[in-house]
Structure 1
Amino acid sequence: MLFYLSLFIFLGALFISLQWFIGGRKLLVLDTYSTDISKHSPPFISVIVAAKNEEQNIYKSVHSLLDQHYPHFEVIVVNDRSSDHTLSFLMELKEKHKNRHKLQIVSISSLPDGWLGKNHALYQGTKHAKGDWLIFTDGDVLFSKETLNKAINCIVSNQLDHLTIIPENIGGTIAYKAFHSYWSILGVWNFIQLKHAGVGAFNMINATVYHEIGTHKALALSPDDDLKLGKRIVKLGFRQKLGFGKNMIRIQWYESIPQVISGLEKNLFAFMRYNTFLVILFSILLFLFHVFPFIGIFSNDLLTRSLFSATILLYIVMYVINIRFVNDKPWLVLSMPFNGILFIYCLCRSAYKTLKRGRVKWRDTEYSLKELRRYMKNN
């Protein structure tokens, strides 16, 4: 029985790793593109930032945007009901930065029914945008000065309607970095098998296409608005590419494992479409594929042990290849079973907390689970 299970796990891991490797070869690395935009007329870009209580990060983030070497752009920051010093830092930038004329500050004091806060904030930002291209981002993302130049060259070279970039992780404890490495491989595979992508830190979309897909109105109650944005773009036949922002776009998502557990509470059950059966199914599969091989290698049967060892070898190869995209270490593969268990815990915790409350809490605002489920069903 254990032999057949080891064979199933190995064949499944082989399929997934091949899918990840083949799909990964098609992904872009933003830093490989030129900064020279003299060969074509650079279009106007509107960068739209949703910010709620981002006093720790907003100054550095917006400062890095205003420092762009790209000639034609504006930065629209939507201060979404912040109760901290977010607005004060924005006003300081508006007063002192050499490119302050490029900064618009839009303040929102209320959230209409039928909207998630971030989705509504980004939509309000688009109402003030003059750009041929829109970039949706968050208030804690840091940008290299050449990011917009390289992004435009990437768009032109690949004839894209939508470019979405996975940012480079910075900082955090060793345990968090190990989880991020695991999460990055799992996340990229998810994008590859879905055949569409969207990353909230950097979604760059042609303004005309954005309106053709229905704007954020079509995503009003989607907690995974970035992914749903990408899905609608592909569904309507527009051209999309996913890439990595190593050295160009950086973020510290979390600092420690407790922050990871808390931060994923909102999203994970949503990724399962608020379906308890899917939570149970994926938890079982994650345990079998990412945890059990590290137990199975101690089997007394040579063939069974060999299959589990081959499965782990596949994972080691994936971690080594992943260095091309992220600044992580391949030895972090040793933490894979622990991170698999952690991810299962986060997934189950997200489902349990949401079901118990009957609501999802995000940025001090609560949303009815019944309403979110109904929205998911209809979209």
Structure 2
Amino acid sequence: MIILIPALLVLSALYWAFVALQLLRAMRQVPQLAELQPPPPPRWPRLSLVIPACDEEATLEPALRSRLREDYPELELVVIDDRSTDATGAIVDRVAAEDARVRALHIRSLPEGWLGKVHALHRGVEQASGEWLLFTDADVHLEPGTLRTAVAYCESRGLDHLGVFPEVWSASFRLDVALGTFGRLVALAARPHAVEDPRSRAAFGVGAFNLVRRSALERSPGLSWLRLELLDDAALGQMLKRSGARCGMAMGRGRVGLTFYPSLRELARGTEKNGFAGAGRFSQLRLVLFCLTLLALEGTPFAALLAFGHPLVQLAGGAIAALAVGASMVGSRWMARPVLPNLLLPLGTLFFVGCLLRSGYLAHRRGGIAWRGTLYPTALLRAGARYEFP
């Protein structure tokens, strides 16, 4: 035990130094969409927003109307009501009747061998007429001018794909504590600063805002290749890059936003879909090892503060904890997130680990992952997984 604690502190220090370094690189190299002023293209290409919606009556209409405030000249919205059991379909039809730019598509059944969202996106692409496609979730809000900026930026840099991290709104301090850990680990996995480098394996996509040149999608295996990929947004970016597309990332602070989950309960339920698949890759053992490693790396310095009678251990733990909180605060400020919840960083880590373990337990008990009223067997999802962590 005497040897273990210093070893864990050293590993934790290296981990948080790496987190800080990755953050600094991202802040330096990943642009803020709101600060970009790209030259307009000679001709504005037609743009289709492909928006899947399943039981989204509480959030859909305000988000759709925010997108209809856009003045992009060649715009259409393909809104897919994916087997909704609430008023989503009626909302889609009403908005489509009011604005000719909106096309309503209703899906009544899910074919075998498809995830619901990926199938909805696939059907939406079939109906879309744009040279550019924006895959975006139903609850995402856009500020006016966002689409012009994003398309002009891609055209001026020769990009085929742009993923934009949204500004995430939350309703409580407790939720902010938990979301800090989620955001930090997603950013570490994404390595957004390296996505535009064609020599790097880093590739990513964002469900809130995946802007894709249609010709690049057609040169790739396509959405049918991702039909059983739970991490479909990230896998889309990886598939495009490996097919020769030029990819980039940006931050959506002040331009692209959404309320991620309204409560801790909903956040935990949301993790049921991607937690076991992302952290464990459909293996209970890998999931447990990931959780133990995360607890050791993120929790050790804070635990060391309680090592009364061992001042050197407390001093080292305090220094590493200060680095962890400081780096997390800087990252939160950059992403337009509250900074004070980072003072409770270890609680966010504990909650996240609890969500992951819960997702693994539920997948084991059910024999698969249940989502949006459909149970997908683990063996089927494992065979259909496409995303590879860089």
Q: Which residue of 2 aligns with 1:106?
A: 105
How far 1:316 moved relative to its partner?
2.6
Q: Which residue of 1 aligns with 2:304?
A: 296
Choose which of 275, 294, 302 in structure 2 pairs with 1:286.
294
Structure 1 Cα separation of the partners of residues 158 and 311 of structure 2: 52
Q: Answer yes or no: is 1:34 the counterpart of 2:33.
A: no
Q: Answer yes or no: is 1:270 the counterpart of 2:303.
A: no
Number of matched pairs: 375
Q: Which amino acid aligns with 1:6?
A: L
- Alignment check: 8 A CA contact 1:29 1:325 kept: no
RMSD of aligned C-alpha atoms? 1.9
Choose which of 200, 215, 219 in structure 2 pairs with 1:212.
219
Q: Answer yes or no: is 1:19 the counterpart of 2:32.
A: no
Structure 2 Cα separation of the partners of residues 143 and 184 of structure 1: 20
Structure 2 Cα separation of the partners of residues 197 and 62 of structure 1: 25
Of 248-257 and 20-29, the range deviating more from structure 2: 20-29
Structure 2 Cα separation of the partners of residues 6 and 301 of structure 1: 14
Q: CA-to-partner distance for each residue in 1:178-209, whole Å, 9 max, x for gaps?
A: 21123212211110187111111110011011
Choose which of 312, 317, 322 in structure 2 pairs with 1:308.
317
TM-score normalised per structure 2? 0.91
Q: Answer yes or no: is 1:321 the counterpart of 2:325.
A: no
Q: CA-to-partner distance for each residue in 1:293-332, whole Å, 9 max, x for gaps?
A: 1111233334333332222222233223224432223222
Structure 2 Cα separation of the partners of residues 269 and 282 of structure 1: 11
Unaligned 5+ runs, structure 2: 193-200
Structure 2 Cα separation of the partners of residues 332 and 262 of structure 1: 22
Structure 2 Cα separation of the partners of residues 331 and 66 of structure 1: 35
3-state DSSP class of the match of 1:333? helix
Q: Answer yes or no: is 1:49 the counterpart of 2:51.
A: yes
Structure 2 Cα separation of the partners of residues 108 and 53 of structure 1: 12
Q: Evaluate the alpha carbon distance shift between residue 378 and residue 134 of structure 1 in structure 2; reply closer, same or farther with a 3 A threshold.
A: closer
- Alignment check: 8 A CA contact 1:35 1:146 kept: no
How far 1:35 moved relative to its partner?
7.8
Q: Which residue of 1 aligns with 2:259?
A: 252
3-state DSSP class of the match of 2:95? helix
3-state DSSP class of the match of 1:328? coil
Q: Which amino acid aligns with 1:41?
A: R
Q: Evaluate the alpha carbon distance shift between residue 124 and residue 377 of structure 1 in structure 2; reply closer, same or farther with a 3 A threshold.
A: closer
Structure 1 Cα separation of the partners of residues 334 and 173 of structure 2: 19
Structure 1 Cα separation of the partners of residues 66 and 15 of structure 2: 43
Q: Answer yes or no: is 1:73 the counterpart of 2:75.
A: yes
Question: Which runs of structure 2 are paired with 1:159-238 in the superposition (5 Å)?
Answer: 159-192=158-191, 195-238=202-245
Q: Which residue of 1 aligns with 2:63?
A: 61
- Alignment check: 8 A CA contact 2:180 2:332 kept: no
Q: Which residue of 1 aligns with 2:196?
A: none
Structure 2 Cα separation of the partners of residues 365 and 322 of structure 1: 36
How far 1:7 moved relative to its partner?
1.6
How far 1:29 moved relative to its partner?
1.1
Q: CA-to-partner distance for each residue in 1:136-158, whole Å, 9 max, x for gaps?
A: 01111111111101111221343
Unaligned 5+ runs, structure 1: none
Q: CA-to-partner distance for each residue in 1:77-136, whole Å, 9 max, x for gaps?
A: 01111121112112221233xxx1111011111111110000000000000111111000
How far 1:264 moved relative to its partner?
0.6
Structure 2 Cα separation of the partners of residues 181 and 333 of structure 1: 7
Identity %: 28
- Alignment check: 8 A CA contact 2:19 2:327 kept: no
TM-score normalised per structure 1? 0.94
Q: Answer yes or no: is 1:7 the counterpart of 2:10.
A: yes
Q: Answer yes or no: is 1:345 the counterpart of 2:348.
A: no
How far 1:68 moved relative to its partner?
0.7
Of 356-365 and 113-122, the range deviating more from structure 2: 356-365
How far 1:348 moved relative to its partner?
0.7
How far 1:36 moved relative to its partner?
6.7
- Alignment check: 8 A CA contact 1:46 1:131 kept: yes
Of 250-259 and 302-311, the range deviating more from structure 2: 302-311
Structure 2 Cα separation of the partners of residues 281 and 291 of structure 1: 15
Q: Which amino acid aligns with 1:309?
A: G
Q: CA-to-partner distance for each residue in 1:211-254, whole Å, 9 max, x for gaps?
A: 11122101000111001111112222322112211111111111
- Alignment check: 8 A CA contact 2:31 2:251 kept: yes
Of 203-212 and 367-376, the range deviating more from structure 2: 367-376
